Chain A
Amino acid sequence: MDEQTAVPFIDVTREVDLAARFPEAVIVDVRKEYEGYIVNRDRLIEVATAIRDELGYDYLSSVTGVDYLPDGVMEVVYHVYKMTGGPGLVFKTQTPRDEAVVPSLVPVYPGADLQEREAWDLLGIRFEGHPDLRRILMWEGFAGYPLRKDWQEAYFEEEGKPFKNRWPDGQVYRIEDKNPYENNVQYPADFIPEEYEPENDALLYDSLKRSIRGRDPELETDVVMVNMGPQHPSTHGVFRIAVALEGEKIVALKPVMGYLHRNHEKIGERNTFLQNMPYTDRLDYLSSLSNNFGYALAVEKLMNVRPPERAEYLRVIMAELTRISNHIFAIGTFLNDLGAYFTPALYAIKERELILDIFEATTGSRMMCNYFRFGGVTRDLPEGIAEKIHRLVYDRLPQKVDELDLYLTNNEIVRSRTEGVGVLTAEQAIAYSAAGPVLRASGVPYDIRRADPYSIYDRFEFDVAVRYHGDTYDRYLIRIDEMRQSLRILQQAIKDLPEGSIQEGKPQYQVRVPAGEAYGRVEGPKGELGYYVISNGKPNPWRYHVRAPSFINLTGYETMCVGNKVADVVAILGSIDIVLGETDR
């Protein structure tokens, strides 16, 4: 995003018909309940550049592949948005299944980097011109591309749930009893274990070496490669970082993930629509209720239902409480990463526990709430909980946020460790598809609740928190700001909470979802959380993809780190606030 963006004059408000603009290269997607355009893959880069520069869709939200097995094509789907707000644009490109090659859009939208790698890893779509096309969630050498529709896992039983009969002849069986290894494994017929040589990260180190930049020509030092993780207390789980160092200075960095890849999407495509709801809880397990929100929105779009008023309010209340509990925890662990060992985290967890109490009382679980249903929510607030929320958001939490602010914000160590460290400029943040607090701390006031409102967010008065330095300190401050704004929303929501039903129609276990595609996105605590769901009218989604902010925010991680000291790796990672369940899915 450098000189190219400086096109003379762009009228970004003008609607342009892409098919008319590129008559040979673009056609309108006319499949029923589909939207957007299908771009000829040979001219993809040209069209994408025009979409970015002429139409002003400067933010690539999500890239994913879809395997249309019956038609023998692979489709790559791009969702782009304008940073000035408003609805998005979808464009797709198709490629034959057995020779799946598509030009890489990394030169146009650098934010496609990790997402294209994921599509390569899981669907086997090769992105020509991608600077670093390696597997990302699985390891090099893993047999097959698991998200392809004809690929079957070792514990395969049936294409879709509910399974027919788990008790043949009155005997329950476990799936491992049917596997020859009595384990969740399968090997190709020609596999000889003694002769197998694992790849041992050669590709990773190659790529690390290639991306070394900013070396000091005066200094005669060796570049040292350091690995951190996957078992390291400050990676917030099982995340690995490979860094190249010159002295203490970072000259290259590669995140390595997949250690918690739980095959969310493959399982999700075998599940029924409703069965996926509890799985979304386990994506970003610190904010399960916002995860429910996005998925419910996507499927509701397909089903064309809207929840009743009270349910909308309950959703907003729960989502905003989640945001506070997430941010307060994030600040606690971030301080941990800075070396303020555990004391701030204990203060943070104390407040989080109070919010968890509300979740437990309402939904039945502290963390895995499984609260949203298509067209409603599962339970109403039990007695006394509304008052409890009232007290919390009017009295206790505002005070506690101020307290955190008072203790931490001007702490000398915090400031000197974070100010000016890990800078991401506004242009970079947009280009790398950063989302949520990371984007807004870089000076881009983009918040989906305002820019493209969903649910009933257009009724509340709140400000979009924004900070302008893009450094680690601002990414800390913005979370404090956001908690205050969430409290404002909560105060209004709990005051206006209407009476009424909480579910449109009857609650159903098996919902009928008409065929079509939908993309539902919410402003989760970590950033834009999107669900891309395709239904073909069957009980299971044909495609179920999660646009995970924790994952995509890592695209700019190397840029933030290079030039800083090795100790800052941890601080910067803490300020991005990733959760591995969502990063790896």
Chain B
Amino acid sequence: MAERDNEALRSIYRDDPEMAELIELFVGELPERVRALREFFDAGDLASLQRLAHQLRGASGGYGFEPLGFRAEQLESALKADADAEVVRKRVDELIALCSRVAA
């Protein structure tokens, strides 16, 4: 999936009145999730990291941020496959980078 580096990632549902409030909530809480991702990775708590990736994967599409779901899925797959620490780090970084581009 091609994503240009600095462009803001916006929800495909941003014009849907039924979703506006939820998208804002999701975006507002995203820094908290990023912090948790980082902490679980640094602490080597891979089970919690996988859980977080799994939830992000399941929810992102629902909020209209499919690329985010895709990145979360890549991290989840790497963890499921017991990938090297370096691969996991790369996936975490990619996911966090994309999170930072998410905008309401």
Co-complex (A, B): no
